[in-house]
Amino acid sequence: MSERFLVTGGAGYVGSHLVLALLDRGDEVVVIDNLRTGHRAALPAGVRLVVGDAGDPALLDAVLGEGGWSAAFHFASLSLVGESMREPYRYLLENAATGIRLIEACVRHGVRRFVLSSTANLFDQADRDLIDETTPIVPGSPYGESKHMVERALLWADRIHGLRSACLRYFNAAGADPQGRIGEDHDPETHLIPLAIDAALGRIPPLNVFGDDYPTPDGTCVRDYIHVADLADAHLRVLDVLTTRSATYNLGNGRGHSVREVIDTVGRIAGRPVPHVVAGRRAGDPATLVAGSARMRAETGWTPRHASLDDIVATAHAWRLAHPGGYGAN
């Protein structure tokens, strides 16, 4: 049976892949997005787009007041870690206020399920190889802190009003729709895989490798990359959990890849080397961040379908070749 969902930030990278997954299974989707970083062209036909801020109480009342909602998915936020270090109060105020106003509006209009796009930036000082849900929360930036504030607000919304919520703390989203319908287009781009692809294609200067003296096998930072389509699938799977309780899940493949591994993989997929230079370390970059996702796998049956780095890079590369200008002029 078709359901009806609200997706804030649904014109953004991960949000648009969830929207596509919902449409593929026959659901109705309404997106709220201010298009500051999202793209109208990322939304396929059949999606109703409401252009505006997800924290605008009047807009939320107008949209949620229509009723008939199965759940709300919340992606809309400022999301650049480095920028949050330069503008901490902007991130803390805007992200927390937007999330809390949306939560309040969902409670007011009887929405019973809520899924939050959270972050691995909650774990800046992890004390273990695999970062699972029991890892102590030490946000690595005001961005991570702002997500934690929304998670805490959801805890109280459950205790007081019975709003069931899932906080999905995912690691490094990467790749593109395997069918090539949508992909990744940020301005500025800060993610390693698309930057490495553009460097290989000669579209940007040589890639900066920030540090090669970490305590890792090849000296470069190790990260867990998860395909964006697998993230979308995870968002769908938690809906059944939310019929009875709230939940928190860390999402990743459970295997780390170093910066050099990514560079080598991109070079092999692209058929040309990735020009790069070694620069100094960036402040605050942990050596290794890898997700422990056993809880998600056990409780929902979720298993990444595009777990190999080759698959992730291949879909990103194919979309970038087909859309050299992103969602703009190609």
Residues with catalytic function:
143
- DSSP letter for each residue of 65-128: TT---SEEEE--S---HHHHHHSHHHHHHHHHHHHHHHHHHHHHTT--EEEEEEEGGGBTT--S
- The beta strands (E) that lie in the chain are given as 4-8, 28-33, 48-51, 71-74, 113-119, 164-170, 172-174, 207-210, 222-223, 225-227, 247-251, 257-258, 276-279, 288-289
The whole-angstrom separation of Cα 177 and Cα 184 is 9
8 Å CB contact between 24 and 49: no
8 Å CB contact between 304 and 237: no
With CA atoms as reference, report the closest residue to 8 among 71, 93, 66: 71
φ and ψ at 30, to 5 degrees? -120, 130
Beta bridge partners of 6: 30, 72
For residues 78, 79, 84, 85, the Cα torsion angle rounded to the nearest 10 degrees is 180
The whole-angstrom separation of Cα 138 and Cα 136 is 6
For residue 216, which amino acid is it? Answer: T
Beta bridge partners of 165: 114
With CA atoms as reference, report the closest residue to 99 among 60, 64, 138: 60
Helix/strand/coil for 303: coil
